[in-house]
Chains A and B, each alone.
Chain A
């Protein structure tokens, strides 16, 4: 009898704990400000590091999650039934973390990152379209070229917040030493060179200083590969044809890769390109070991800020476009928010509402100045504080949709750099490598198009 009582008591205790634990979950009832019972919702927000602080990295305790924590605090004041947890994910762990989350069906409710990095999740059918939270005012405030970057099949999957144009940067002091003043643009403007100019500049830089690698080239992995893909557009190649297939192996693409390889062979680029990552090359640029480097607005501002704080020895750093045939090649990373389709309508609605809140709030959208604001209204407001803003805005007509939002882009990126390595190690000719990439890449696009939920 005693034993039976013990068993009964244990079972009761277990059931009570399970029920209590269940009550602590996501479906708790809370009273709202109006006194009406509303289901409490806890939302998970993930982001990769973008900028420190709410509006500025000089704020006290500024960190990568400061902005979203502040946005959550302000949102929760108006919506007491919603709580937002913010988690910063290292960029290199994005794919792993999301892959595990997809497989275990434990996706967060929202993610903030560059749209191209998340486009494959739209194809997987796990992103909720956001068209229903985009009002007419926002539509007019953000340029068409930005909207094109965040839409697939006319549906908007990414709510744009800021953007981050990719260009080249150069050490103007080295240019002056080499007598290359005529190739320099005034400070706060973006220089435009032809491919021939780039070669002349690099040769002159090398003649002046043998210790410096004129052009920072890299091909170790998919880091910074948007620049490598853009370099192949130097002689007019479009990378993708009108059907979304890869056509980089045509005459213009091959010419561009041969041009880069010749620069390498002539000692005008960094040594050991095939094992250098973009991080390595960026560090070399800061250490004055290269003269011309890849950059984007966040990297550029970061180096400027490090120069001001004494972390990097100051030098005159300026911007240039990637050379193009008829017009310069420029691209931009649109940092934006996505909402994952968790299947729970209440959670999706709350997540969309939170995204809309911080993407439209008059005060919070000012944080987009940490990169470049996508909103004309914010850009106008900060025009005087952001000396490069006009140059970037004028350059917007050169912006391409570099990923074409193609299905399987992540896989495509990983098929690309081994072919570059094959050329830079002399294993394949430019034509052979690009043929092989086009064949392999088109197979990847075909397979992923078949799998794409939103294209079928």
Chain B
């Protein structure tokens, strides 16, 4: 009896913009000069926000914070493809996506400063709370996608997670649900190559993370995660496909966490300086600057102005965060249940 080939697959990596700032014109997404400049401003804002948040932690003004440095293209590029009607299930390291969708800066800082009140997502946005339990937001996104389809709402549900989450059961259960029910769901894996101290090869024996989608019956693609155009293009296609009822997509953004896992971590214990230097040369912001300069849209002077404006925006957010009065003890009980139990009500009174 002959052996039969049951499946054969290929995994592609999408790259649009290289390190020199050159693009493949065939693949460059249709974006106006103003939109390209907006992508740049948002990436710069994310970088400056991040630097400021790390500094605030060092000064004891907020608590432990997970830096996003190096991942600006993956976050801004993907979130730029969404509308405020789409649903977002983030992990805890997507502040660039939040900033892109207009999440208030004071609230982002309040969260990492430990203020519960920050978690109330503004009414115009369908963003879920930060999810610190790795990967557990992914099946919830599948549920929202199921509900959106039931309601015939033409929206996409997008969930973000890191490479470490692809080892968790919830990732696989959600991928399977998405495949079985053909859900309007986009999985965005920010493969920043380190889950604290465990490198990608300690996380998976696969040649790519994108290929995991094949096993669940829907497409997976790897994109250069430091290339904002590739990320945007892939996400745009995936969300349009989702909104039109054509099912899920898995996008692996190959990027790099340039900073520590959190401000409580020291990445120098587990990775080499050469590796960090290698990736610094592939900085997503530098790359976009080179491209924009070639189009006559960027000068050092314009960068200075954009950076100053972003810094002023972040400064205003810091001031607003710090001006908020501390929460009262009774706020412990706010929103635990629609109606407090008699015991909770009694406990609240004596706080």
Q: Does B associate with A?
A: no
Using a CB–CB distance below 8 Å, which chain B residues touch chain A?
A: none
